[in-house]
Structures are given as C-alpha cells and as structure tokens.
Amino acid sequence: MDKKKQVIMALASVLVLYAVLEALMMVGIVGPYWQEIMRYAMVVTIGALGLSIMYGFTGQFSLGHAAFVGIGAYAAGLFNLTFRHYGILAFLGSLVVGAVVAGVVGYLIGVPILRLKSDYLGIATLGFGFIVTNGLQNSDKLIPALGGARGMTGVPQVQGFGWYYVLVLIAVILARNFIFSTHGRACTAIRENETAADVVGVSPARTKIMAFTIGCALAGLGGALYAHNIPFLHPDSFNFLESINYLIVVVLGGLGSLTGTVITAVGWAFIWEVLRLVLGPLYDFRGVIYAIILIVIIIMRPQGVFGGIEASCLVPQIKRRKTHAAAGD
C-alpha cells in the first residue's frame, strides 16, 4: 500500500471513529460519566505528547510536567473566566493563552535548568513542580479569582467531545511534523549523543530549550482543555504524582514513539475505569493491580510497549528530487 493510501485510510478511520463515538453518545450508550473520561483522555494525550517531545525524543528528563499542565489550566481558566461573555471565542482564546503562558514559563525555566543533565535535571524540574503547586495554593492572595488552596471554580465548561478530538488530532499532526524535520532530528541527535550532535553543528542548549518550550506549550494546551472539562481546578491536580503519571505514560508507551505516547495516554486515562469493571468487589485492590500491570509490562518490554515503533501513517515518505538512477553523479 503506498503512502498516500495509508494516510487517506488513517484519516478515514479517524473520522469513522469519531462518528461512532458521537453516535454512541447520542443514543446514550456512552453516558456523561464516560464522556468526561473520554475528554480527560484527550487532555492527557496532549500533555503526554509534550513530555514525549521533551523526554522521549530529546532525552530531557522532567519530573514537573504536570506543573506546566497546571499553569496552562489556570491561565486558560482565568482568561475564559474574564472574557466568558465572548462564548466560544473566549474558549478558543484561552487555549492559545494556556499554551503560550506555559510555553513562555517553560522557556524561562528551561534556560537556566537545561544546563543540568539527567538526574539533576529531574531534581530541578521536581523543585519547579513544587514551586508551582505551592504558588497556586497561595495564588488567591494575588489574584482572588484563582482561588488558592480552595480551588478555582466558575470556568465555563466546554463539553463537546469534537473540540477535544480535533485538538488532539492537530497536536498529533504538529508533533509529528516537528519530529520529522531537521529540528526533530536535532532533538533526537541530542538524545542519542550530545557530544556528536554538538560537533556536527547542533547547538545542544538551543535544541533542548526549543524542545522544552514546545513540550511545555503542549502541556499548557492540555491544561487549557482540562480547565474546560472539570469545573473545579485545584493545585493538587497538578502535583508531583500527576507528573509521575505523565512520565509513566511516556515511558510505558516507548521513548521516541508518538504512536506509543498517544495509545498509552488514552489507555492510561481509562485504566482505572476498566479496573473498576474488571475487578468488581476487588476494586479496593486497584492500586496494587495497576502497579503489577506496570511492573509486568516494563519487565516484558523495557523499551516500552511501542518503543522504536511508529505507525506508518505518521511517518512521512522520504522524498527525493532526482530519480534514483541519477543518484550516482
């Protein structure tokens, strides 16, 4: 099957999937509870794509990813709260605001801390995560609308699944475009061997900051959606444990695989509910079962479920200018 057909097939199945989900919601098989989880899955997917670019592709470890999701959520929430009478325009504006604010904060934080490597970078991002949650807990002293430790309420909710679905599609396509470009290759080169990347003209500092900023902006976009899916924003929703969850999604999906990140993110959002159905009266042991699943997967596939694998419809065809026969001259 050639590339064009593959892409058309992929787009067609994406459309069919959407139609099926909408139909199921319309006839009531998928109720409001599951719809919220579906939207949450989309939020996690976008946030995880950000961490996938930062960690999976560029190798820059972050233990504070949820903090950037939180920054996006609060920034978008505050924006939409302020301009709520503009309706859907305020919603769209708040998406931009969430992504941009998180991206700018990521850039400002990235410049000093991306000099650090692996574990040290992890500790620095962990510290930043604590700064954000603590800051948000006291945010009402500066901006009362943010609610501080009591949480933020009153952000207009957007419950159309289509918005979330389309934004995930856009995020996946943009992330894929980025990865399959010279900038994405520079990121991968930094992950693979920073010294060698440096010596062929790739600036490690610039590349890491670029990846970090893009990753944080995606986290912010995810957060902006989060703020419209759940009517109550609380600092604890973006704490260290939540950052670990993003890390689990990216590592379990497979470092350096967008396909793995997307599938694992959706799966992760549903796993608690699936466990509830499967375990029945044993549901109290869900935490144990969940951890066992993680351990078994990582022992069986240490490179992640989709490590080194990319769905072929995401991989662009390698195009050449001249014909193969003329390549020798």
Partner 1 sequence: MPLLEIKSLGINFGGLRAVNNFDLEIETGEIVGVIGPNGAGKTTIFNMLSGYYAPTDGTITFKGKLMNGLRPFQVAQQGIARTFQNIRLFPQISVLDNVRIGFHPRAGYNLVDSILHTPRFIAREAELTDQALDILATLGLEDKAYIKANGLPYGAQRRLEIARALAVKPDLLLLDEPAAGMNPAEVGRMVDLLRFVKEKFDLTVLLIEHQMGLVMPICDRLVVVDFGEVIASGLPQEIRDNPKVLEAYLGRSAVA
The site for partner 1 (CB under 8 A) is made up of 174, 177-178, 181-186, 188-189, 192-193, 195-204, 210, 256, 308, 316, 318-322, 327-328
Could you tell me the smallest distance in angstroms from the CB atom of residue 78 to partner 1? Answer: 27
HSE, side-chain direction, 13 A CA sphere, residue 44: 27
In terms of residues, how long is the chain?
A: 329
* Cβ distance to partner 1 smaller for residue 26 or 199: 199
CB closer to partner 1 out of 25 and 100:
100
Beta carbon nearer to partner 1, 106 or 184: 184
- CB of 214 vs partner 1, minimal distance in Å: 8
Q: Cβ of residue 319: shortest distance to partner 1, in angstroms?
A: 5
Q: How far apart are CA 205 and CA 292, in angstroms?
A: 38
Residue (4 or 321) nearer to partner 1, CB: 321
Least gap, CB of 196 to partner 1 (angstroms): 4
Under a CB-based contact definition with an 8 Å cutoff, are residues 184 and 57 in contact? yes
CA 237 vs. chain centroid, Å, equals: 15
With respect to partner 1, which residue has the nearer C-beta, 190 or 233?
190
Tell me how far apart the alpha carbons of residues 270 and 278 are, in angstroms, rounded to a whole number: 12
For residue 69, the minimal CB distance to partner 1 (Å) is 21
In whole angstroms, the minimum distance from the beta carbon of 93 to partner 1 comes to 21
List the one residue out of 46, 3, 310 whose CA is nearest residue 166: 46
Burial of 123 (0-12, 13-18, 19+ CB in 10 A): middle
CB of 281 to partner 1, least distance (A): 45
Spell out the long-range contacts of 203-210 with Cβ–Cβ below 8 A and sequence spacing 24 or more: 205/114, 205/115, 207/58, 207/183, 208/58, 208/60, 208/110, 208/114, 209/107, 209/110, 209/111, 209/114, 210/183
From CA 263, how far away is CA 260, in angstroms rounded? 5
Q: Which two tokens mark 81? A: 């709260």
We find the least distance from the C-beta atom of residue 238 to partner 1, in angstroms, to be: 26
* CB distance 155 to 228 below 8 Å: yes
Both ends of the chain: CA-CA distance in Å? 31
Whether the CA torsion 82, 85, 87, 93 is positive or negative: it is negative
Cβ proximity to partner 1, 44 vs 189, nearer residue: 189
Closer residue to partner 1 (CB): 117 or 276: 117
**Closer residue to partner 1 in complex, CB, 140/310:** 310
